[in-house]
Amino acid sequence: ASLLEVSPPTAHAPSEEKLRAKKQGKGQLPPIDGSASGAPTKSVSKVPPVPRRTEKPVMGLVTEKNFVIANAVDNIMREPKKLPATPPKATSRADYGKVP
């Protein structure tokens, strides 16, 4: 007997027609933007375009903000982190050192 003939076929195995019928019409996903055609539409870019080689950068922009002091103020005003609760020490128990 070959390896394929060792186990008998089960009686509850689905037929090939049922398997093929399950997959009917599931080949394509609907378009994301809801348009009837599957053609890609122009998407709105969230990133500004790359400047061209001929564009000159804006010169002379200076900020008055002192980032070192602003960072220090932010850290001072922030709530402190909550430390995890430490478990009680075994030496502080009432029955410490007594024979059980």
pLDDT in tens, 29-55: 666 665 555 555 666 778 989 999 999
Question: What's the pTM?
Answer: 0.30
pLDDT of 44 reads 74
pLDDT band at 13, cuts 50/70/90? confident
DSSP alpha helix (H) spans, the chain: 16-22, 67-77
Burial of 13-37, coded b for 16+ CB within 10 Å and e otherwise, reads eeeeeeeeeeeeeeeeeeeeeeeee
Q: What integer best gives the mean pLDDT of the chain?
A: 79
Q: Which residue has the tokens 């001929």?
A: 54
Can you give the C-alpha Rg of the chain in angstroms?
36
pLDDT of 70 reads 97
Could you tell me which of 3, 23, 26, 5 has the C-alpha nearest to residue 14? Answer: 23
Distances from the Cα of 18 to the Cαs of 13, 22, 23, 29, 38, in angstroms?
10, 6, 9, 22, 29
pLDDT of 26 reads 62
Over residues 70-75, mean pLDDT? 96
pLDDT of 88 reads 87
Q: What is the spatial distance between Cα 9 and Cα 13, in angstroms, rounded to a whole number?
A: 8
